[in-house]
Amino acid sequence: MRKLSILKATVDLLWIFSTPIILILLSFSIAIFFIDLGEFNIEMNSVNFNENDMLSKVLFAISSLNYLLIIAALYFFRKVLNSFIRVKIFEETVSKLFKKIGNLLIISGFISLIISIISTIYFEQKVTLEFSLNQHLVIICLGLFFLILSEIFKIATSAKQENDLTI
């Protein structure tokens, strides 16, 4: 139970630090279309948005929204941890939350991968093929892991219900 409390405290701390960033990103993503980016050197998810054209602004706005997807997944993970602390592990809501987290992480991973490819081609004018472990693949794998957890908890929930009905 101590490890669960440490995990819950860590996730809550991440949530507390990320909530002000939500407002900043939303307001900055809208304002970016009206502010000149020429004097700013903005970098998000290893993509440098220092150009003063529309594609750079759109990629930054999409990156900001992608970050919000990860924060939403963090919010759902907090709800799962709350259920775990209340010892309501095998409920249907837990498997649904795991599925939401998995879907959000997979979408976020693909979006960040596409943004990385587009920015490499557009800003650096080069096409490279790398076989390495990068953050986009890790996020996609983590999303698939949460989808698998969702299925496992769904099976465990139905097994628990069957076990509760037997005499």
Q: Which residue has the tokens 């929204």?
A: 65
**Nearest alpha carbon to residue 111 among 29, 166, 44, 20:** 44
Range of the domain at 95: 2-165
Q: How far apart are CA 66 and CA 94, in angstroms?
A: 24
Q: According to the 3-state scheme, what is the secondary structure of 53-90?
A: CHHHHHHHHHHHHHHHHHHHHHHHHHHHHHHHHCCCCC
pTM for the full model? 0.85
Rounded mean pLDDT for each run of 10 residues along the chain, 167 residues in total: 91 92 80 67 64 74 88 95 91 94 96 87 75 86 96 91 78
CA 146 distance to own-chain centroid? 12
Classify residue 22 as exposed, middle or buried by CB count within 10 Å of its CB (0-12, 13-18, 19+).
middle
- The angle that helices 2-31 and 54-85 make with each other, rounded to 10 degrees, is 160
The pLDDT of residue 155 is 93
Concatenated DSSP letters of 17-46: HHHHHHHHHHHHHHHTTTS--TT--EEETT
- Looking at the 3D structure of the chain, how many domains does it have? 1
The pLDDT of residue 38 is 59
